[in-house]
Structure 1
Amino acid sequence: MAGVVNYIKESFTELKNNVSWTPWAEAQSLTILVAVFSIIFSLAIWGVDTVFSKVISLYFNLING
């Protein structure tokens, strides 16, 4: 159990002292950029899904008469 506690302590020390963190303003702008592209991508997938759904419905309506 002491090994796990020591590992966690060393991990926090590593994160605190040796990791170079992105500046807050850059992190905010990148987060907004990711959110915008996620929304655009999800809308594009929704549009393609809607079109394919309508095409498949028309196809089956033609087959079934």
Structure 2
Amino acid sequence: MKVVNYISEAFEELRSNTTWPEWAEVQRLTIVVAVFSVLFALATWGVDELCAKTLAGFFNWIKTV
């Protein structure tokens, strides 16, 4: 019964005490998050490719020595 009471109170608090942003602001911030997510993914991919090529070159160099 305590869990049901907790969930009920949580929903009531969300309904009465929470200030929700305007729909336009939600859309704008969603676009900002999406753009930064893509940029971060591209940066991570670039660092991964750089490290992979560096290690491959290093091991190829070791094989020839």
Match of 2:56 in 1: 57
**SS of equivalent to 1:4:** helix
TM-score by length of 2: 0.90
Quote the Cα distance in structure 2 between the aligned partners of 1:4 and 1:57.
55
Give the TM-score taking structure 1 as reference length: 0.90
What number of residue pairs does the alignment pair up? 64
Partner in structure 1 of residue 27 of structure 2: 28
Amino-acid identity (%): 53
Deviation at 1:3, TM superposition (A): 1.9
Name the Cα RMSD after superposition.
0.9
Distance 1:51 1:11 in 2: 48
Would you identify which runs of 4 or more consecutive aligned residues in structure 1 move more than 3 Å?
Answer: none
Unaligned runs of 5+ in 1: none
